[in-house]
């Protein structure tokens, strides 16, 4: 079954200069976003490999690691991925040395590239390691103020900690 977000290898091979432009403007259900994910991609056949390059933009809805409130994070990043048309294991055996920056996805003889899956993985990899809603986030800082409310019941254990402010 052919999916609208799958690109056939045959279409790339038959394109002018073996380069195909692809625009993605859709949601990916597993990634909470404000609006669609936008990507302008170029898929290029390089013999036994397909190279996918381009730009991805979205506004992700994330949860702050400090206060646990939801916030929005604008993301704009480049992708540069390689796909092997046939199985790498057949050609190279069990040992294949990858140098810095070399990551190759093995298509195992598949005749198409799933762009939605590629973008899902790229977005997940590019999410910030530390998700903080802002430089002034104070919700998760445990203070001695009696009016302060712990945002998460699991944090209740920290409510009575005394902080020495010298």
- 127 in any annotated domain: yes
Res 1: pLDDT = 37
- 158 in any annotated domain: no
Res 87: pLDDT = 60
User: Domain limits at 84?
Assistant: 6-135
Is residue 99 within 8 Å of 64, Cβ to Cβ?
Answer: no
- 33 in any annotated domain: yes
Give the other-Cβ count within 10 Å of 39's Cβ.
22
Spell out where the chain has E strands.
6-8, 19-26, 37-46, 49-63, 70-84, 104-106, 112-114
Res 154: pLDDT = 76
Binned at pLDDT 50, 70 and 90, residue 47 comes out as: confident
Which among 12-16, 148-152, 157-161 has the top mean pLDDT?
12-16
Structure tokens at 40: 């302008």
- 48 in any annotated domain: yes
Gap between the Cα atoms of 69 and 66, Å rounded: 8
- 38 in any annotated domain: yes
Does the pTM surpass 0.75? The reply is no
Helix ranges restricted to H, the chain: 9-14, 88-92, 115-126
pLDDT at 145 over 50: no
- 144 in any annotated domain: no
- 115 in any annotated domain: yes
Q: Quote the number of domains for the chain.
A: 1
Is residue 146 within 8 Å of 54, Cβ to Cβ?
Answer: no
- 157 in any annotated domain: no
pLDDT tens column, 21-45: 999 999 999 999 999 999 999 999 9
């Amino acid at each position: 079954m052919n999916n609208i977000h799958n690109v056939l290898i045959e279409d790339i091979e038959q394109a002018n200069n073996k380069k195909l432009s692809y625009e993605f403007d859709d949601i990916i259900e597993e990634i909470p976003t404000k609006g669609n994910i936008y990507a302008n991609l170029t898929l290029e056949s390089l013999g036994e490999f397909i190279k996918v390059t381009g730009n991805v933009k979205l506004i992700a809805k994330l949860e702050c690691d400090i206060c646990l409130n939801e916030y929005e994070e604008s993301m704009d990043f480049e992708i540069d991925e390689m796909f092997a048309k046939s199985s790498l294991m057949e050609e190279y055996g069990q040992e294949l040395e990858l140098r810095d920056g070399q990551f190759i996805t093995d298509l195992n003889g598949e005749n198409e590239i799933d762009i939605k899956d590629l973008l899902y993985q790229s977005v997940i990899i590019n999410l910030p390691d530390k998700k903080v809603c802002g430089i002034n986030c104070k919700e998760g800082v445990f203070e001695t103020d009696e009016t302060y409310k712990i945002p998460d019941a699991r944090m209740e254990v920290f409510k009575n900690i005394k902080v020495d402010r010298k």
